[in-house]
A and B are shown apart, each in its own frame.
Chain A
Amino acid sequence: MSEPTPRDTLIARYLDGLLEGDELREFESALASDASLRSSVELDRRIADRLDAMLHPGAAFSIRGNRENASSSDSNRRRWKLIGTIAAALVIVAAIGIAYRIQVGASGSFASATREPIEIYRTTIERGFEPAWVCEDDAQMLSYTRERFGRGLLFEPVPGLTLVGWGYANGVLSDLTLSLLVEHGKERILLLVDRSRDDRALEDPALTDPTLHMFRRKIGRFVLYEVTPRDRPLLLDAAYTARPDLELAPGQQGPGIDRSSRQ
Chain B
Amino acid sequence: MPQVSRTAEAGANVPAGIVASRLDREGFGVRFSGSRRKLWWVAVSILGRREHADDVLQEAALIALGKLDEFDPVTSFDAWMAQIVRYVALNAARKVHRRSSHHEHYAADTHESPVEHESPIDADGVLSQDRGAFDDRVLGALRALPEQARVCLLLRVLEGLSYRDIASMLSIPEGTAMSHVHRARTSMRRHLEKGDRP
CB of B9 closer than 8 Å to a CB of A: no
Distance between B33 CB and nearest chain A CB, rounded to angstroms: 4
The residues of B that contact A56 with a CB separation of less than 8 Å are: 50, 158
**Which segment of A83-91, A121-129, A224-232 sits at the interface?**
A83-91
* B interface footprint on A45-72 (CB within 8 Å = 1, 0 otherwise): 0111011101111001100100000000
The residues of B that contact A13 with a CB separation of less than 8 Å are: 182
CB of A151 closer than 8 Å to a CB of B: yes
Distance between B61 CB and nearest chain A CB, rounded to angstroms: 6
Q: Identify whether the interface residues of A are mostly helix, strand, loop, or mixed.
A: helix
Q: Give complex CA distance A51, B26 in Å.
A: 34
Q: Give complex CA distance A61, B181 in Å.
A: 25
Whether B192 and A43, one on each chain, are in contact in the complex, defined by CB atoms closer than 8 angstroms, is yes
Distance between B120 CB and nearest chain A CB, rounded to angstroms: 11
By beta carbon, the residue of chain B nearest A244 is B126
- Chain B positions 135-165 with a Cβ under 8 Å from a chain A Cβ: 135, 138-139, 141-142, 145-146, 149, 154, 156-161
Asked whether A52 and B158 contact (CB < 8 A) given A12-B185, A85-B65, A151-B124, the answer is yes
Distance between B66 CB and nearest chain A CB, rounded to angstroms: 9
**Which segment of A106-114, A154-162, A176-184, A207-215 sits at the interface?**
A106-114
The residues of B that contact A21 with a CB separation of less than 8 Å are: none
Whether A60 and B128, one on each chain, are in contact in the complex, defined by CB atoms closer than 8 angstroms, is no
The residues of A that contact B65 with a CB separation of less than 8 Å are: 82-83, 85-86
Number of interface residues of A (CB under 8 A): 50
Asked whether A96 and B135 contact (CB < 8 A) given A43-B189, A244-B127, the answer is no
The listed residue (A8, A60, A88, A96) touching B50 by CB distance below 8 A is A60
The listed residue (A15, A46, A52, A83) touching B58 by CB distance below 8 A is A83
Whether B61 and A47, one on each chain, are in contact in the complex, defined by CB atoms closer than 8 angstroms, is no
Whether A79 and B187, one on each chain, are in contact in the complex, defined by CB atoms closer than 8 angstroms, is no
The listed residue (B32, B145, B160, B183) touching A108 by CB distance below 8 A is B160
Whether B193 and A43, one on each chain, are in contact in the complex, defined by CB atoms closer than 8 angstroms, is yes
CB of A97 closer than 8 Å to a CB of B: yes
Asked whether A86 and B25 contact (CB < 8 A) given A57-B40, A244-B125, A244-B126, the answer is yes
Q: Give complex CA distance A221, B149 in Å.
A: 32
CB of A30 closer than 8 Å to a CB of B: no
Asked whether A16 and B190 contact (CB < 8 A) given A83-B65, A86-B29, A93-B36, the answer is no
The listed residue (B33, B122, B158, B183) touching A150 by CB distance below 8 A is B122
Asked whether A61 and B61 contact (CB < 8 A) given A47-B138, A51-B157, A92-B33, the answer is no
The residues of B that contact A48 with a CB separation of less than 8 Å are: 157-158
Distance between A85 CB and nearest chain B CB, rounded to angstroms: 4
Asked whether A85 and B50 contact (CB < 8 A) given A44-B185, A50-B134, A92-B33, the answer is no
Whether B124 and A55, one on each chain, are in contact in the complex, defined by CB atoms closer than 8 angstroms, is no
Asked whether A12 and B124 contact (CB < 8 A) given A40-B189, A60-B54, the answer is no
The residues of B that contact A244 with a CB separation of less than 8 Å are: 124-127
- Chain B positions 60-93 with a Cβ under 8 Å from a chain A Cβ: 61-62, 65
The listed residue (A12, A55, A89) touching B158 by CB distance below 8 A is A55
Q: Give 6 closest A-B pairs by Cβ, nearest first.
A: A89-B29, A12-B182, A86-B29, A8-B186, A89-B33, A1-B187
Could you show 14 A-B contacts with beta carbons less than 8 Å apart? A11-B186, A16-B181, A16-B182, A51-B138, A51-B154, A52-B158, A82-B62, A83-B58, A83-B62, A85-B65, A108-B160, A150-B122, A221-B123, A244-B125
Where the two chains meet, the residues of A that have a C-beta atom closer than 8 Å to any C-beta of B are 1-2, 4, 8-9, 11-13, 15-16, 40, 43-44, 46-48, 50-52, 54-57, 60-61, 64, 79, 82-83, 85-86, 88-90, 92-93, 96-97, 100, 104, 108-111, 150-151, 220-221, 244-245
